[in-house]
Structure 1
């Protein structure tokens, strides 16, 4: 069965039912690509998992590449939406990074497929892959700038610090979220946060 169809101009759901169908397809795509990878995954596999007709797929997505691209953006948004409320509860800028990592570890443990999907994006859709990390780093840089303004971290924090912390979080999520989730997430986040506090905290 061909995994392509004529591209339509506007595939934004216009009804709540349409949004539910699109969400079901994205969730099914996460399962399909997370289990089989992009190249082995198929549109028919996605629609079967979602319980949707093939025609419903093409109502919202133009191709397998299109839904994969949308899935990468969607998973990035899910991480953001999961982490943001926890960070809002932070005592200060340093604690915000602890809570950010803690909530990310929890998300990774519940959505282990995220690493396979994001990693494959590097080769399937470089723009989506890059956007995921650039947007994450930008949010982190803004958070660190706010922490500096509050006096919680040193004044010269910037983009390099944001990318360094993000890189640490990515690999901690892989090691303690995907490969082995037996170690308490709170403990992992506390150890990593101590490194940040000693490195850029004002109370070093």
Structure 2
């Protein structure tokens, strides 16, 4: 394998490993968001249905990346929450991990629920922008399977942030991100692109997962 081919293979391996982590983190975290949405917005079945679709899409994306790895005949690289955009965002805005998020407090406090909706909205908008960039990347375009995955993600992304934006507007809440939220999103994105992704790329000792996270939820923690 030449240098260019080796670089391409490693790039796709690292990128897909980070994406599969984030997609798994996304749909499992949305289970907790759905608890809050169903409790706080019980009179808004259309909003609940849109969040349920969001959750289903995230799992669908995870399974597409999983299938890509299965076709490659290997497991994803073992990355951790330092590669998770939503992990960093939740910790910055709420001061705790996703797992420690107090769902009951968010249901009871309109301002906290507003922040949660806005964090999800900003994260999904960032994801949409990133997919547009990736679908112009020659390494992505050279792999038919990866291109197909990102085209599906591109198609789905608008429906992942628009419902939260619409809910905020309809309920007199602030849809426009606060400057601190924008800065947090920018900093997280840049740190992932300029530091974390290159670090994983260069670390040839990075282990691979020994089980799929949908089969063993503790695999990223071990």
TM-score normalised per structure 2: 0.28
Greater relative contact order (Cα 8 A, min sep 6): structure 1 or 2? 2
Higher-Rg structure is 1
